[in-house]
Structure 1
Amino acid sequence: MVEPALTQLRKLTANETHRLDRAIVAVSVNPELGTQVPGTLLRDYADDIDGVRAIYYVTALLTITMVAYAEA
């Protein structure tokens, strides 16, 4: 993780961290879970139950770069 992400993680509540962890695990188990963002290599995953959204990119080596947030 990069420093700005670590700073943001320290500000999350335990509930927000748990919700984001669930989304990260879901995407890591199934990288094709989200929908393709038209005209890009990005994928968009939304979990309406936990109120989490993740935009991510999967490399050829299956490394995942992700930006995720918990909705209020």
Structure 2
Amino acid sequence: MAPQPGPPRARIAFSDSAAKQLEHITSEAEIHALGRALVVVSVDPDVGEPIPGDTAGPQLRQYTDDIEHVRVLYFVTPLRTVVVVAYLEV
């Protein structure tokens, strides 16, 4: 019997500032670390912690991967698209 597929992953998009950060990533270790964090967030967009602030717009969240030592700041749109605002090394 074939395993049942899980829920669909969220689509990942990048803000302009996050896209500029990506242009400067050159090492395979950094690419791997970011890829790992993005997979976690795409599977469960609610995994990150909410960042307190203005409630007028989408809730800004942060996901920290303690193994790869990265933090991703993002928000989730009403259509469940994850928009990455920034990628930071911890």
Name the TM-score, length of structure 2 as normaliser.
Answer: 0.67
Count of aligned residue pairs for this structure pair: 69
Which segments of 5 or more consecutive residues in structure 2 lack a partner in the other structure?
1-13
RMSD across aligned positions (CA): 1.7
List 4+ stretches of structure 1 deviating above 3 A.
none
1:39 aligns with 2:58: no
Letter of the structure 2 residue corresponding to residue 23 of structure 1? A
1:69 aligns with 2:76: no
Superposition map of 1:51-70 within 5 A: 51-66=69-84, 67-70=86-89
The structure-2 alpha-carbon separation of the partners of 1:44 and 1:19, relative to structure 1 and needing over 3 Å to count, comes to same
Q: How high is the sequence identity, in percent, across the aligned residues? A: 39
Q: Which structure: greater helix fraction?
A: 1
CA distance in 2, matches of 1:55, 1:25: 14
Q: Which has the higher contact order (CA 8 A, sep 6+)?
A: 2
1:27 aligns with 2:27: no
- 2:63–2:73 CA contact under 8 A, matched in 1: yes
1:50 aligned residue: 68
Name the TM-score, length of structure 1 as normaliser.
Answer: 0.81
- 1:41-68 CA distance string (max 9 Å, x none): 1001111111010110000001111121
- 1:10-55 CA distance string (max 9 Å, x none): xx20011001100000000000000011124100111111101011
Which segments of 5 or more consecutive residues in structure 1 lack a partner in the other structure?
none
The structure whose Rg is larger is 2
2:20 aligned residue: 4
CA distance in 1, matches of 2:88, 2:34: 7
